[in-house]
Amino acid sequence: MKSLLRNAIFLLTPATLVAQTITGSVRNGTTNKPSSGDPVIVMRLSDSMEQESQTRSDSRGSFAIALKSTAGPHLLRAVHAGVNYDQAITDSTPVTITVFDSAARVAAVHGRLGIGQIEADGSRLNVTEMYSLVNPSSPPITQAGPKSFSFAIPREAILEFVQAKRERGVWINVTPLAVKDQPGRYAVDFPVRPGDTLFKFVYHLPYNGSAKLQFKPAYPVETFAVAHPPQMTFAARKAAFTNLGTVQGLRMEQVAAKGMLREIPAFEISGMGEVEKPLRAAEQSPVLAASAMPTGTKAALATGATPNRDIWALLAGFAALLSVVAFALIRSRWRHGHAIVKGAAASRWN
pLDDT in tens, the chain (350 residues): 444 434 433 333 333 434 488 999 999 999 999 999 999 999 888 767 788 899 999 999 999 998 887 777 888 999 999 999 998 888 878 999 999 999 999 999 999 999 999 999 889 999 999 999 999 999 999 999 999 999 999 999 999 999 999 877 778 899 999 999 999 999 999 999 999 999 999 999 999 999 999 999 989 999 999 999 999 999 998 889 999 888 888 999 999 887 889 889 999 999 999 987 655 544 444 444 333 333 333 332 222 223 334 555 666 666 665 555 444 433 444 444 444 333 333 333 23
Helices (H) and strands (E) in the chain, counts: 2, 24
Using an 8 Å Cβ cutoff, are 79 and 41 in contact? yes
On the question of a common fold for 2-99 and 110-328, the answer reads: yes
- Neighbouring C-beta atoms of residue 325, cutoff 10 Å: 14
- pTM to 2 decimals? 0.76
Structural domain spans, the chain: 2-99, 110-328
Please report which helix (H) or strand (E) contains residue 58, including its range. none
Q: CA-to-CA distance for 225 and 309, rounded, in angstroms? A: 20
Q: What is the CATH number of domain 2-99?
A: 2.60.40.1120
b/e burial code for range 229-248 (CB count within 10 A of at least 16 → b): beebebebeeeebeebeebb
CATH architecture of the region 110-328: Sandwich (2.60)
- Neighbouring C-beta atoms of residue 276, cutoff 10 Å: 13
